[in-house]
Each structure stands twice: as C-alpha cells, then as structure tokens.
Amino acid sequence: MGEKKMKEVKEITNMEVDFAQWFTDVCKKAELIDYSSIRGLFIYRPYGYAIWENIQGLMDAEFKKTGHENVYLPMLIPESLLQKEKDHVEGFAPECAWVTYGGSDELEERYCIRPTSETLFCDHYKDIIHSYKDLPKLYNQWCSVLRWEKSSRPFLRHREFLWQEGHTMHETPEEAIEETRRMLDVYADFCENVLAMPVVKGIKTDKEKFNGAEETYTVECMMHDRKALQAGTSHYFGDGFAKAFDIQFTGRDNKLHYPHQTSWGVSTRLIGGIIMTHGDNNGLILPPRIAPIQVIIVPVAQHKEGVIDAAYGLEERLKAAGIRTKTDVSDHSFGWKAAEYEMKGVPVRVEIGPKDMEKGVCCICSRDTGEKTEVPLENLEKAVEETLDRIHDNLYKRALENREKHTKVCKTAEEVKDFIENEGGFAKTMWCENVECEEKMKEIAGVTSRCMPLVGEAVSDTCVCCGKPAKRLIYWGVAY
C-alpha cells in the first residue's frame, strides 16, 4: 500500500534504468541536499546535515580516543605559503578560488580559500614545535574546503564540501607511518561497523597518491552500480613539508631533526557512499547507527480514541532506551507516511492501531527487507534494538555480497576491458609497478587503479598489462 501511494507522491527513477538519475532523485526527494545559486556549491538540508552530525559525533569520539585534539585554522592561504611545497602547489593551484579584494582594496598578495590545510598546519607547527617533548602533535580540524572543479554532483563532487582533516607530526618515520595506518584502520572500522560499508584497505599507486605525499593509504568501497568510491585516505608525508617549511626540533640526541608528518581525511562524500551502497527503488536506506530517525512511529486509524496517546507512549519508551524516535501524527494518510519514511530511509517503522492495542502488540517493519513482525508491547525496546542491529548486519552483508560477486581475477588487459564493459566491478590483477602500464590500462579498459590491497595473495606471476614479471596485487575499477 505504502509503495503505491509513494509513486503518486514522489516518483523516482528506477535505479536499474538510470543509476545517476536515481541518485540525484534520492538526494532531492529525501530532502538531503539542494542546489545553490553557484554551480558546485550545495545546500546541506536539515536531514542531510543531521546524517553528517551523526557521522561527526561518532568519528570525533574515535579521534579523541586515539589521542587527537581539535583545532581551527584560517580558511585563507597566502599564495606564497601555498607555493612552499612544489608537488603540493602543482596539484592544488589549478583548482583554487582566489580572494583578491578586501572591501574596496586590492590585496597586495592574493589568498586562496583552503583546498586542504597542510601548508597552514606547517606554518603553525613551525612556531610550536621546538623539542622532541613537543611531539607528537595530533591535531584534527572539522571545516569546509573549496576546490574549483569543473563538474559537480551532490555529495560526490562539490566545489565546497564539509570534511575533517587530521594533521600530525612525529619524532620518527616509524611513528608517522604507524599513525597513518592507525587512522586508516579507524576509517575502515567506521565504514564497516557504523556505515555498513565493507572496504578494501590498500595503498595508492604513485600516480594516484596525494600531491606531496610519500604514501597514500585508502579505503575503497564498491557501490551498488559496481563503481568504486574512495571513502577515506590517510597520507604519510615523510619530512618533505617539514623541510619546505623549515620545521625543526631538538631531538633526544640534542641535535636538530625534521619531524615526520601525516594527514588524513573523510568528507560528506561518505553520505554519497551510503546512498549508493544501500539505497533501493523506494529511496534511501540509512544504516541504523547514523540514521537521524531510527524509528518512525506511524499510528493506524489515528482518529480512533487512544491511538495517538498509545503511539506517543511507545515514542517515550524508545527515547528512554536511547533510540532516536519520531511519531508522525500529521493528517497525511497512512500510505503517504509509509512512503515518505521509506524514501527517507528510516530503518524501522512501528505501526500501532486499535486492533494492535486490543491484542497488546505493535508491528515492526524493517526498511531493508520490508519484513513485518508483530511484537508484544512489553518486548518493544528489545525487539527494536535487535531489529536495528539485524538491519545493520544485513546491509553490510548485502554490500559485501555485491562486492564479492563483482570482483574478478583477470590476467590480461583485454579480460579487464570485457569485465568492465559487460559486468563492471573490481578487476583483481597483478602489476609490474610501471606507470606506463597503469596509463595503458586506462586507455584499454577505461579503468584507474583503486589500490594495492594490504592483504591478499598473488593471483598470477605476470603483469596484467605488459606480461612482464609482476610485483604487486592491484585492484582496478571505474571510480566516482
């Protein structure tokens, strides 16, 4: 019933017909995001922003557990500061937005709006790092950044987007690398245990790594349409920036040393990942642990005496159990409400009406499977908690099955091409580590390297492209 009504109210494109349009429809109809008057800059609406707030809250707690402190640095970078690290400026300068006037005065030096803040953090570290006793510095910043890209898509590619950027400095390379990998694990655990998005953890090739980094680690996810999404990255910089910015500390040996640096970030792109991993043709499906509304209570025949009170009674009990709950007693029809909260991806709908009240039960409906269960009222909290956990597990399992089904071991570039054209997914191959082969794979099969996984067995002896002896296992795919 709900399903039919929805199609009248909020029609969305079928995801099998046009996945891109389905995605845009969900973003708009679930009221996550809206376009602003500047192309590429988006409005995060209350429901979309609430998802981000939940991500922020849980992730920030993990950062603090691992010893990080939050700071806030300026949003503007003087051009001369950006230019200090050569690889970094080459990568970012072409997509900077430049401030040239303050009021009616032309500025002596132009400033870019931060596309990322390595240079600003280094400029600050220079003033506060003097001794090994000042290390490590474990800082994080929640902010928005701006990259003047040509194309844009809600959540996936914004000119302005919200993110966190961790920036840390360490006494030794070993400690910095350990930090880089620790934060990769934080991201991987978060994606899997909170967002129900299985990840492949790996290292980026030199071609795909961050501008100025020695090593970039990544967590890669497969979307429902079998394309790849880079969900988070963690970079090891060595002492390159430290040298460029002349940051030195007196070590335990009483000599001067350059500290070793990391940075790591995730952004609101994760919300795009959630939509494309879990959603279906009725709209969004939110992983329970970050859903702004975990349970929507919809009264049945709410004009009947006592129904609304009974619904609010359930709400009160669920809230007391720490479950984010809302009751909709608006004068929309039951069908409209069912469809509306399906579109918004609310994990659990609880229905209660006069007949349920007589029997001392309510009905629990799961968003992922559509399954309905009658539950004795005294078991409400426990049943809802179990259902939320079951939904999380099921979403994770479905996504993992999708990835496993569409990951294929390939031996030649032609095989990769066929796989990508006819099926799509991750092509798992060996590689000789030459960038020429990496570029050729793009030409032949239209893929980019996703990562060299941290765990995984060799699948052959020869490079997928040139046929020479292979060095690394590598995943290829078409990425967002």
CA distance 16 to 233: 30
CA distance 292 to 190: 17
- Sole binder of a second copy in the list 13, 62, 66, 76 (CB under 8 A): 76
CA distance 385 to 402: 26
Tell me if 162 contacts a second copy by CB under 8 A: yes
Tell me if 329 contacts a second copy by CB under 8 A: no
- Residue 45 or residue 153: which is nearer to a second copy going by CB? 45
* Whole-number Cα distances in Å, 477 to 157, 406, 438, 447, 480: 18, 11, 12, 5, 10
Instruction: Yes or no: say if 199 and 231 are a contact pair by the CB < 8 Å rule.
Output: yes
Q: E strands, 241-377, where?
A: 249-250, 256-257, 260-267, 295-299, 325-327, 348-352, 361-366, 372-376
Tell me if 1 contacts a second copy by CB under 8 A: no
The one segment of 73-81, 190-198, 343-351, 401-409 that binds a second copy by CB under 8 A: 73-81
User: Shortest approach of a second copy to residue 400 CB, angstroms?
Assistant: 32
CA distance 119 to 121: 5
Tell me if 123 contacts a second copy by CB under 8 A: yes
The tokens describing 367, both together, are 């968003």
Instruction: Yes or no: say if 59 and 164 are a contact pair by the CB < 8 Å rule.
Output: yes
User: Shortest approach of a second copy to residue 100 CB, angstroms?
Assistant: 5
CA distance 402 to 380: 32
Tell me if 160 contacts a second copy by CB under 8 A: yes
- Residue 59 or residue 113: which is nearer to a second copy going by CB? 113
The one segment of 89-97, 194-202, 270-278, 358-366 that binds a second copy by CB under 8 A: 89-97
- Residue 138 or residue 229: which is nearer to a second copy going by CB? 138
User: Shortest approach of a second copy to residue 401 CB, angstroms?
Assistant: 34
- Residue 151 or residue 422: which is nearer to a second copy going by CB? 151
- Residue 124 or residue 170: which is nearer to a second copy going by CB? 124
Question: Which residue type, as a one-letter code, is found at position 325?
Answer: T
Total of chain residues touching a second copy, rule CB under 8 A: 51
CA distance 172 to 11: 56
The tokens describing 270, both together, are 């994760």
Helix (H, G, I), strand (E, B) or coil at 219: strand
- Residue 39 or residue 359: which is nearer to a second copy going by CB? 39
CA distance 44 to 34: 7
The one segment of 142-150, 217-225, 250-258, 363-371 that binds a second copy by CB under 8 A: 142-150
User: Shortest approach of a second copy to residue 266 CB, angstroms?
Assistant: 16
- Sole binder of a second copy in the list 15, 51, 59, 73 (CB under 8 A): 73
DSSP 462: B
- Sole binder of a second copy in the list 1, 21, 61, 70 (CB under 8 A): 70
Tell me if 65 contacts a second copy by CB under 8 A: no
The tokens describing 402, both together, are 């999708």
User: Shortest approach of a second copy to residue 154 CB, angstroms?
Assistant: 13
- Sole binder of a second copy in the list 83, 87, 91, 99 (CB under 8 A): 99
In which region does residue 238 sit, left (phi positive, over 0), alpha (psi from -120 to 50) or beta (all else)?
left
Tell me if 144 contacts a second copy by CB under 8 A: yes
Helix (H, G, I), strand (E, B) or coil at 479: strand
Tell me if 312 contacts a second copy by CB under 8 A: no
Residue tagged 């269960």 (tokens): 373
The one segment of 75-83, 165-173, 237-245, 355-363 that binds a second copy by CB under 8 A: 75-83
* Whole-number Cα distances in Å, 473 to 69, 234, 415, 456: 36, 20, 16, 7
- Residue 77 or residue 391: which is nearer to a second copy going by CB? 77
Helix (H, G, I), strand (E, B) or coil at 341: helix
Tell me if 127 contacts a second copy by CB under 8 A: yes
Tell me if 9 contacts a second copy by CB under 8 A: no
Tell me if 58 contacts a second copy by CB under 8 A: no
Alpha helices in 194-306 (DSSP H): 240-244, 269-278
Tell me if 79 contacts a second copy by CB under 8 A: no
Tell me if 120 contacts a second copy by CB under 8 A: yes
User: Shortest approach of a second copy to residue 325 CB, angstroms?
Assistant: 15
Contacts with a second copy, 100-119, as mask; x by CB under 8 A: xxxxx-----xx-x------
CA distance 177 to 246: 21
The one segment of 70-78, 214-222, 232-240, 426-434 that binds a second copy by CB under 8 A: 70-78
| Residue closest to 154 by CA, chosen among 56, 253, 265, 36 | 36
Burial environment of residue 384 by CB neighbours within 10 A (0 to 12, 13 to 18, 19 or more): buried
- Residue 75 or residue 363: which is nearer to a second copy going by CB? 75
Q: What's the CA angle centered on 116, arms 111 and 118, to 5 degrees?
A: 95
The tokens describing 113, both together, are 């709006």
Which residues 18-47 are close enough to bind a second copy by CB under 8 A?
Answer: 34, 36-38, 41-46
Tell me if 151 contacts a second copy by CB under 8 A: no
How many residues in the chain?
A: 480
Residues that bind a second copy (CB under 8 A): 34, 36-38, 41-46, 49-50, 52-53, 69-76, 78, 81, 93-104, 110-111, 113, 120, 123-124, 127-128, 139, 143-144, 146, 148, 160, 162
